[in-house]
A and B are shown apart, each in its own frame.
Chain A
Amino acid sequence: DAGITQSPRYKITETGRQVTLMCHQTWSHSYMFWYRQDLGHGLRLIYYSAAADITDKGEVPDGYVVSRSKTENFPLTLESATRSQTSVYFCASSEGPLTGQYFGPGTRLTVT
């Protein structure tokens, strides 16, 4: 029972490079989310998706792109990484808009 997985777990990249973080869930949950967690800010929503091919912005979407061609996958792309995007990124999924969200193990991204 894999649940929700993220890859890679750790990534170091240079400023200006494109980076894609992967998220995969095996529950067939409709909703998927991307958060970043930073000291002093807690967890902040970047983007979310209510279903395949439906995505919408969260609180901090600038500099990020998402897609959801399949229900089980929700990749997050940093088109041109900046140092301010150094963070721990968490993917989550839920059955519905008001139900509990289940989080992946996180990806620690460092932009040098």
Chain B
Amino acid sequence: GQQLNQSPQSMFIQEGEDVSMNCTSSSIFNTWLWYKQDPGEGPVLLIALYKAGELTSNGRLTAQFGITRKDSFLNISASIPSDVGIYFCAGVDQTGANNLFFGTGTRLTIIP
């Protein structure tokens, strides 16, 4: 199955710093999704993007659906300790529900 290229694989930042991660694909997607997963839990949907060029915010999180429909990025502003976790991008291609492809994840660690 297809996997999205997500970068960076891991990030070590200090509390209060801004975070940026991105996801690229060789295929066009109709929907881009960003999830956060905590240890022992299921992924939690953070932001859903449905239109090329769309910029959507959810509190301190902002995500954009790339114009080419082959990429997306997620920014977190003023990071706090509860932001620690693994962030996954996911894309749904033109064939629909059965083709939700996940990125390999970005592990975010906050250094005290």
Contacts and interface: CB of A to CB of B under 8 A. Distances in A.
A84 interface: no
B92 A97 contact: yes
Contacts of B105: 42
B12 to A, nearest CB: 21
Contact of A56 (B1, B30, B35, B98): B98
Contacts of A60: 1
Interface string A89-105: 01010101111111111
A65 B100 CA distance: 20
Given A31-B97, A48-B98, A98 B30 contact: yes
Interface residues of A, number: 26
Contacts of A94: 97
A42 B104 contact: yes
Contacts, number: 58
Interface in A28-71: 31, 33, 42-45, 48, 50, 56, 58-60
B100 A101 contact: yes
B31 interface: yes
B80 interface: no
Interface SS of chain B: helix, strand, loop or mixed?
A: loop
B45 A100 contact: yes
Contact of B31 (A31, A98, A106): A98
B3 A101 contact: no
Nearest to B50: A98
Contact of B42 (A44, A50, A98, A105): A105
A11 B36 CA distance: 25
Interface of A: 31, 33, 42-45, 48, 50, 56, 58-60, 90, 92, 94, 96-106
Given A43-B102, A105-B41, 7 more contacts: A42-B102, A42-B105, A60-B1, A90-B42, A103-B42, A103-B44, A106-B40
